[in-house]
Structure 1
Amino acid sequence: MASTAGPGHGAAADTPRPPGGGATVRVRLLAAVVALTATALSVAGATSLALQLRDADARIDDSLERAVTAVRALEVGQPDPAAPEDLEARVPWPSVDLLLQKAVQNRVPGEHEGVVALQDDVLRWRPAPETGAVRLDTDRELMTWLAEVVAEDAGASRPRTVRTDVTEYRLVAVPVRVPAQPESRGLVVVAFDRPALTAGVWRIFATYSAVGILVLAAVSAVAWFVVGRMLRPVRMLRDTVRRVTESDLSERIAVLGKDDLADLAGSVNAMLDRLERAFGSQRELLDDVGHELRTPLTIVRGHLELLDPSDAADVRATQALALDELDRMQRLVDDLVTLATADRPDFVRPAPVDVGRLTDDVLEKARGLGEQRFVVVSRADVTARVDAQRITQAWLQLLANAVRFSAAGSAVRLGSEVAGGRLLLWVRDEGPGVPPEEEERIFERFHRGQADRVQHGAGLGLPIVAAIAAAHGGRVFLEHPPPGAGPGVVFVLDLPAVGLVDGASDVSLELAEPHR
């Protein structure tokens, strides 16, 4: 399928196709289905044909072996007319010719079977025409070959195949002798017209081949239709991706059915949703960064243009203002760098940390954030694997937010505890709380609530907290105090309690209420 061009590389519809064109997926799948079906039909047909031909040959050879047995039994002698009927007395044959005559008479030719008898390479006996036997004597090439067999006395009496211009024979040539004429040699030949006997098998195979071709055509038509239906979401995906541009990511694929291709379409739609949000955030990022940097730059430029170098007081005031604005830009750049490195594997470096001591350290550092009363409500005296610096950074950010949005002298509570295999670090203030319509967006980059806009916040503090929590395999979320517990809001860092040593919690006597 075609791939979209990245931002700044033009529309996805301009993406070139692979050199040489190449067959479509539909054609390749159809070719594979047709090839597999044709192979299966061919193997099945060839196997069936081979088995039926082998069975036909086995039946022919069995009949020939029975003919040899009958001739050998007859060669022993003829029945004695003077002996009683219940005895099987035999007397020698007086001549080879009489033995050959009897052998031909006793053999009733079957379908496509012929019998001849030769004496000293001369044809002596054959069945009458009305028997329907194959006329072996009319095949000159066969008769010449039989004369050579008599001359060589090749009396193996085994079935063999002989091909002539007339047909292909499967036959036995049985040499016979009688004591009365030791110098005379006889030959009884029983032969089958093999192509005539196997013609039925070949007709069946021809019918099978014709049906196989029809089946192959039907399979091809059905496969073309089915593969087309199956690949419809892929074509829709291709067309949708081609229509997607860096300025329009609103295209979506219709999800049809519940198969793997439907899952693919849903996944691509989800990817487009993420891209749309990412590009939207990127544009907002550029707009917000431009705005945040443009304001201090404008302020510094304006004051520098109006600076009176001869007025020392004006120089000092302008210097202080410029340094203050530069510090604000530096904080913004530092926050952006922090968020940019949040996806790196070394963003956090977990190590065993005493959570109780970390709680006390954060409390001491928080006292310089404002004039609020900072109170540790619960302290988890455990050791867990976390990045102490990043956790301190996130925790202080939550405390800084609490200071910004609560009155001086009000209580800001913090605590740590272990519950359900999770390490919970939280902050609660007594401020006005977060409006319901903003609760879902406060962790988005550069999202600033109304209070943030008044206080000129950049909207990066809570996203940094969320990134630090995610890097630890956890999350940050907002809760409201239960009814009757007073105003404010609770921010909770919910982290997996990895490497936990002791799960006991030490609760402060000053405020023994849970954070929820």
Structure 2
Amino acid sequence: MSGTARAGFSVRQRLTAAVAALSTAALVAVGATLYAVESRELGQSIEAGIGQEVDELRRLQADGLDPETGEPFDSPDRLVTFFLTRNLPDPDEMLWAFPQSDRPSFVGEPDPRLSRSPEFPALVAELSETGGIRDLVVDGRRYRVGVQPVVQGEDRASFVVTSDVTAARTALLELMVTYALLAALSVIVIAAIASWVAGRLLAPVRELRETAQGISEGDLTGRIEVRGNDDLTELQRTFNAMLDRLEEAFASQRRLLDDAAHELRTPLTVLRGHVELLDAHDPDDVASTRDLLTDEIDRMARLVSDLLLLAKAERPDFVQPSPHDVEAVTLGALERARALAPRRWVLDAVARSTHVLDEQRIIQALLQLADNAVRHTREDDEIGVGSRVTEGRLELWVRDTGTGVPDDMRERVFERFSQTEGATEGFGLGLSIVGAIAEAHDGRLDLDPAPVDGRGATFRVTIPAGGQA
């Protein structure tokens, strides 16, 4: 048994086969119904034809006068013979006169099978007393035979109508053969059209597959051209949006790794240099080197912790929002911030409302902004923390009266590892962490316009109204 998986039928092929099968079943059902209806009508038509001929004979017999002489018919043979001379049989039909003593005669298209058949006169003789209609099979052909006895005194004759059922059905069979050919051609045409339509409808799915294969090969730049306005179009848009998020996530991870490698290289170089220059026999050198190495290790630990936090921000469970009192959150952040450094800490404003948010993450964001403010202020500077609800939005901010943000850094200050000139502490990840927390709440982090005197800065976290409880 081969280990190679055998390719199955494509969706397009299965749809085409299903449409062809359904069309075939429908056409077969229509054909069978048509044949049954036409067969029944054919049988009824033959019965009606025989009955009509017999009724006409009966009317002539009831009248009893010979139109040629004006006298009553002198014998049953004369009545039947006269009737045959004045009537034309329908196609596939023969009218017969079976006299009492003479040979039978007929009108209509000669049929040698009946003329030579011994079963035919035997059937007529059997029905000559009571009359009736029977089927007769001669040489594989089916006939419908109607016999009407004509009695006058002691004389007796028989009027016989024969209809070739097989010949009548031949036309029906030819019709059904024509129908079958047309039905087969219709199925082929329907299957071709179904295949074309299925190909058009499944084109977006094929593009999805090809794009997914490109992703498997490492290409995240491919996108599907969106056309139309249906469910598959929405699937294309959703797939493109997913690719955008994946590409952004991979790019973010690459930037994070590149930046981390760059930032970790410096403390590692410092560690290596001091270890290489360490004089193990000098206690003072060992002590100072140990303190320096400990500080560098702590810095690397903080960097790794911040990087892990930013990486976790990509996960859906990064925040776990629930209803919280905004006033309690704001006051809690301010009380914690007072321990960061001796500054003039003030409460600017407080929102007395309940909002759906992650209390720990919001406090973490405010403390990060407060720590950032501490690094850019002096002991006599003021740092304010506040919150408010405006136009259905919750705003939380931290402002300071420190050195402010230079104009050339106002756009780049939110980038990872970006630091203002003169900054000696941190890694430039604080605002990135705050921005990640705001985005996890479907919000944003903004820097207010610079004051007129250029001093101080206000960083504001805004959460949309959808989170209000």
After superposition, the Cα gap between the structure-2 partners of 1:188 and 1:463, relative to the gap in structure 1 and judged at 3 Å, is: farther
| 1:335 is aligned to 2:306 | yes
Contact kept in structure 2, 1:94 and 1:178, CA below 8 Å: no
| 1:67 is aligned to 2:48 | no
After superposition, the Cα gap between the structure-2 partners of 1:377 and 1:263, relative to the gap in structure 1 and judged at 3 Å, is: same
Unaligned runs of 5+ in 2: none
Query: Which residue number corresponds to residue 276 of structure 1?
Result: 247
| 1:490 is aligned to 2:463 | no
Contact kept in structure 1, 2:150 and 2:159, CA below 8 Å: no
**One-letter code aligned to 2:50:** L
* TM-fit CA distance, 1:379: 0.7
Q: Aligned equivalents of 1:326 and 1:187: distance in 2?
A: 128
Q: Aligned equivalents of 1:338 and 1:121: distance in 2?
A: 121
Unaligned runs of 5+ in 1: 1-16, 128-132, 501-516
**Percent same amino acid among aligned pairs?**
39
Q: Aligned equivalents of 1:48 and 1:221: distance in 2?
A: 26
Q: Aligned equivalents of 1:266 and 1:468: distance in 2?
A: 27
Q: Aligned equivalents of 1:252 and 1:342: distance in 2?
A: 26
Q: Aligned equivalents of 2:422 and 2:98: distance in 1?
A: 123
Q: Give the match's secondary structure for 2:104.
A: strand
After superposition, the Cα gap between the structure-2 partners of 1:70 and 1:284, relative to the gap in structure 1 and judged at 3 Å, is: same
**One-letter code aligned to 2:123:** E
* TM-fit CA distance, 1:491: 1.9
**One-letter code aligned to 1:118:** F
Give a deviation string over 1:16-68, Cα, whole Å, max 9, x none.
Answer: x9811233444444444444444454444554454444444433332233334
| 1:167 is aligned to 2:141 | yes
Query: Which residue number corresponds to residue 417 of structure 2?
Result: 448
Q: Give the match's secondary structure for 1:139.
A: helix
Give a deviation string over 1:334-360, Cα, whole Å, max 9, x none.
Answer: 334434444666544445433212211
* TM-fit CA distance, 1:157: 2.9
Higher RCO, Cα 8 Å, sep 6+: 1
Match of 1:465 among 416, 419, 434: 434
Query: Which residue number corresponds to residue 178 of structure 1?
Result: 151
Contact kept in structure 1, 2:149 and 2:156, CA below 8 Å: yes
Contact kept in structure 2, 1:116 and 1:123, CA below 8 Å: no
After superposition, the Cα gap between the structure-2 partners of 1:114 and 1:476, relative to the gap in structure 1 and judged at 3 Å, is: same
Q: Aligned equivalents of 1:351 and 1:259: distance in 2?
A: 37
Contact kept in structure 1, 2:259 and 2:417, CA below 8 Å: no
Give a deviation string over 1:241-272, Cα, whole Å, max 9, x none.
Answer: 54556665344455566666565555544444
**One-letter code aligned to 2:461:** V
Q: Aligned equivalents of 1:314 and 1:71: distance in 2?
A: 143
Q: Aligned equivalents of 1:154 and 1:482: distance in 2?
A: 126
Contact kept in structure 1, 2:146 and 2:160, CA below 8 Å: yes
Q: Aligned equivalents of 2:44 and 2:406: distance in 1?
A: 94
Which one has a larger percent helix, Structure 1 or Structure 2? Answer: 2
Query: Which residue number corresponds to residue 507 of structure 1?
Result: none
Q: Aligned equivalents of 1:255 and 1:323: distance in 2?
A: 56
* TM-fit CA distance, 1:113: 1.5
Q: Aligned equivalents of 1:436 and 1:284: distance in 2?
A: 22
After superposition, the Cα gap between the structure-2 partners of 1:151 and 1:59, relative to the gap in structure 1 and judged at 3 Å, is: closer
* TM-fit CA distance, 1:147: 1.4
* TM-fit CA distance, 1:467: 4.0
The range that moved more, 314-323 or 431-440, is: 431-440
Query: Which residue number corresponds to residue 446 of structure 2?
Result: 478
Match of 1:432 among 381, 384, 404: 404
Query: TM-score, length-normalised on structure 1?
Result: 0.72
* TM-fit CA distance, 1:396: 1.2
Contact kept in structure 2, 1:398 and 1:491, CA below 8 Å: no
| 1:151 is aligned to 2:126 | yes
**One-letter code aligned to 1:124:** P
After superposition, the Cα gap between the structure-2 partners of 1:308 and 1:403, relative to the gap in structure 1 and judged at 3 Å, is: same
* TM-fit CA distance, 1:109: 0.9
Query: Which residue number corresponds to residue 5 of structure 2?
Result: 19
Contact kept in structure 2, 1:68 and 1:157, CA below 8 Å: no
Give a deviation string over 1:199-245, Cα, whole Å, max 9, x none.
Answer: 55555544444444555555555555555555555555555554556
Q: Give the match's secondary structure for 2:460.
A: strand
Contact kept in structure 2, 1:469 and 1:495, CA below 8 Å: no
| 1:389 is aligned to 2:357 | no
Number of residue pairs matched? 463
Give a deviation string over 1:104-163, Cα, whole Å, max 9, x none.
Answer: 456431222212233679853422xxxxx23356425765145136336795735x5544
Cα RMSD after superposing both structures: 4.3
| 1:399 is aligned to 2:370 | yes
Give a deviation string over 1:447-502, Cα, whole Å, max 9, x none.
Answer: 2324289546445434433443444x4312314248759653432231546574xx
Q: Aligned equivalents of 1:436 and 1:484: distance in 2?
A: 16
Match of 2:262 among 255, 280, 291: 291
Contact kept in structure 1, 2:413 and 2:419, CA below 8 Å: no
Q: Aligned equivalents of 1:241 and 1:485: distance in 2?
A: 55
Query: Which residue number corresponds to residue 323 of structure 1?
Result: 294
